[in-house]
Amino acid sequence: MTQVANLLEGLNPAQREAVETVDGPLLIIAGPGSGKTRVITHRIAYLVQEYGVSPYSILAMTFTNKAAREMTDRLGRLAGPHAGALTVGTFHSFCARLLRIEGDFIGLSRNYSIFDDDDQISAIKQCLGQADYDPKRYPPRAVLSAISRAKNVLQDSQAMARDAAGYYFEEVCARVYRHYEELLARNNAVDFDDLLLRTVQLFREYPVVLQRYQDRYGYLMVDEFQDTNVAQYQLSRQLSQGHQNFCVVGDPDQSIYSWRSADVRNILNFKNDYPRAKVISLGQNYRSTANILNAAKGLIESNGKRLDHQLFTDNSTGQPVRVDEAYDEDEEAGKVIGEIKRLTREESFKLGDCAVMYRVNAQSRAMEEACLQQGVKYRLVGGTRFYQRKEIRDLTAYLRLVYNQQDDQTLARVVSVPPRGLGAKSMQQLGEWATGRGVSTFDAMREITLASRNKQPSPVSLPSRAASSIAKFVDLIERLVAISREAEVVKLIDVLLSESGLQKHIQESDERPEERWENVMDFRGIAQEFNAETPPDGLGSLLERTSLVSQVDDLEDAEDSITLITLHQAKGLEFPVVFIVGMEEGLLPHSRSLDSEEQTEEERRLCYVGMTRAEQRLYLMRAFRRNFRGGSGGPAAASRFLREIPEDLLVPAALSSTAARTVTSPQPGGGSSIRAAALAAASVAPSSGPALKVGDPVRHRAFGDGIVMACEVTASDVEVTVEFAGGVGAKRLLLSFAPLEKLSDSEDPGLGGR
């Protein structure tokens, strides 16, 4: 068999057409699981072996080093000795090498440095000072993000200043950007964004250099084209504008990185920018069952800004997508872990086959706890375990000190978080004096404070600023101790966050302040569970829970373990079994997207990406109430995405869980019958559910027959409380999603007189 036959063997018609189309602009729309990496590598090998293109003339760029390595490995097997002459890598690695060679044209020596994240933050702080701006008022991370966005659309500081006219924060960032440019130049350095910006600048200002690379790279291929930003697109156009042998591969339905400046319009408008472009759709999915694929198709078709292409599979129909409801995030997590244990016990799945995906990192907390409580191994991808995150450790350290002022280790952690003028030298002196006296460090602080209040000499020789800071710290802790003896845990946490300065410290931090604050609010939601205990027992129980969880061995390191991962991180992966949790309005789609149709469409694409990671089983989970973000756990409306999936592809799962909770409604009249509790007669009828009133008999596909106990109209839904027969008990359900059927009186489940 010839080499060419080997390259084409096993390809479907669309894949083969893509491999054999070698000249001119080409857009390959590659749906999920359609074998795009195979097509890219076989096309490159075909160019070399059949078409006679020198491998030296081929440039293939992608977005991650992992993808580049996989492509290189495959090409090594397909192209053999020719593979070494190919240029395969990320945009940034290509630009970094090019600037080493050509950077002199734009004043960049070949031994230039690339600033990493820490270098950039340090530099921005320095530039804020040079521009006479307070870094507490203008967080360096926020300023750097604004500068990064400007660079990704090819703006220097002057261009940013022009666009910023009239917008004060942007004007500040533009001024800092000017100082940052000067600092980078003095240090013969660039940052990550500059690798693209400076290469585009080089090509624009020195056509002779551009011509050299156009002549070399007669064939250009770009993978994941939907994720390109303005700078990457411009660079691609510069390289391909002469020969036009420009092949791009991507899927606008999987564009989920606008927050990284990715611009989905690059792929949507490709045909306009290259009118001669041929478009080939890789629509055959080799990954998912037909039911999973069709459910994902039904969802994504609600998006307006997309390229219509047919998705299909020859795989089996498979099981319907399973949907389940839980009362809160802890019951949701318990149900997920319970079902995974059933799958591993009763079917042929392993723990490593299962992935749990979620919108934001803070959602991992409930899943981690469920895994630990049920003894299930897990690995957390791309994040620190919830109770090990810095903001959570800082907050719990404060709470431990309030609970036990003799804990010197804990005091050492919190005394300078946030910074309060107590240096390492002062704390060392204080610790040595306390040790010599045989007292705790906090007791020593009390003595110093007492002496100051009584206008007596301090027992420890400390700078006046340090002594003043110690007095303020002692006052804070003693006030919190007093509150802990009288108030609920949540009240204590609220006062602590505010008066310690920890809230401001987190919200103004350089490192992901919004995400870190979400984690703190999730912890606050956990604390609400202990409000019912008598102070300070509630605090003690909360600390016991966090300590037991945080001291568990690193279960996630085991090979056969559940994968916990955000939807963004899951792109490019696949699993036999996928659970997507948090299918609620405000979470998926995220609340930040709800005022923008464009952002809502990206949230829909994100859900689509998650669904199409599943090979055999897909579960979509939601909770009626979620303490996430520290809220009161009010009713959460079902995600609109659940209503956009064809109903015939969904089935209620009714998953069991050892962690499931039954919500018991109070019975009016001191134990009178449920039927007698029908005191209200107002009917409620959301567009998606039956008209119901208190006392109506109903049937739920999972919970069976019951009686409506209460109806409450919320801002976006109707919440009903139903007492179910058969020992199920009371459940609170949202009518927009709950599969409730109103029964006739003759079908009354007869729960009265219980």
* Nearest to 176, CA basis, from 146, 217, 213: 146
Q: Which one is catalytic: 15, 62, 90, 254? A: 254
Q: Is 36 a catalytic residue?
A: yes
Token pair 């029964």 is found at 743
Q: Is residue 209 within 8 Å of 202, Cβ to Cβ?
A: yes
Tell me whether residue 403 is exposed, middle or buried, using C-beta atoms within 10 angstroms of its C-beta: 0 to 12, 13 to 18, 19 or more.
Answer: middle
- Count of CB atoms within 10 A of residue 204's CB? 13
Q: Which one is catalytic: 16, 36, 524, 731? A: 36
33 is in an annotated binding site: yes
What is the H or E stretch that residue 749 is in? Answer: none
37 is in an annotated binding site: yes
| Cα–Cα distance measured from residue 659 to residue 368, given in angstroms and rounded to the nearest whole number | 13
What is the torsional sign of CA 591, 594, 596, 599?
Answer: positive
Token pair 């318990």 is found at 334
Q: What is the DSSP letter of 539?
A: H
31 is in an annotated binding site: yes
Q: What are phi and psi of 433, to 5 degrees?
A: -65, -40
The full DSSP string for 128-192 is HHHTT--TTTS-HHHHHHHHHHHHHTT--HHHHHHHHTT-HHHHHHHHHHHHHHHHHHHTTEE-H
Q: Which one is catalytic: 170, 191, 193, 223? A: 223
| Cα–Cα distance measured from residue 154 to residue 665, given in angstroms and rounded to the nearest whole number | 60
Q: Is 613 a catalytic residue?
A: yes
Q: Is 224 a catalytic residue?
A: yes
Tokens of 76: 């090594």
In sequence order, the 6+-apart residues with CB closer than 8 A to the CB of 660 are 326, 327, 331, 334, 335
* Nearest to 576, CA basis, from 286, 285, 287: 287
Strands (E), 185-270: 189-190, 219-222, 246-250
538 is in an annotated binding site: no
695 is in an annotated binding site: no
Q: What is the DSSP letter of 638?
A: B
Tell me whether residue 736 is exposed, middle or buried, using C-beta atoms within 10 angstroms of its C-beta: 0 to 12, 13 to 18, 19 or more.
Answer: buried
| Cα–Cα distance measured from residue 325 to residue 651, given in angstroms and rounded to the nearest whole number | 12
Token pair 């705790």 is found at 440
35 is in an annotated binding site: yes
Strand partners, 190: 114
570 is in an annotated binding site: no
Strand partners, 246: 220
107 is in an annotated binding site: no
Cα 590 versus chain centre, distance: 10
Omega before 589 cis (within 30°)? yes
* Nearest to 492, CA basis, from 473, 477, 474, 472: 477
The full DSSP string for 414-447 is HTTSS--S--HHHHHHHHHHHHHHT--HHHHHHH
Q: What is the DSSP letter of 83?
A: G
Q: Which one is catalytic: 102, 191, 224, 394? A: 224
Q: Which one is catalytic: 359, 379, 613, 629? A: 613
Q: Which one is catalytic: 3, 17, 21, 37? A: 37
Q: Is 37 a catalytic residue?
A: yes
Known binding-site residue numbers: 30-37
Known binding-site residue numbers for ATP: 30-37
Catalytic residues: 36-37, 223-224, 254, 613
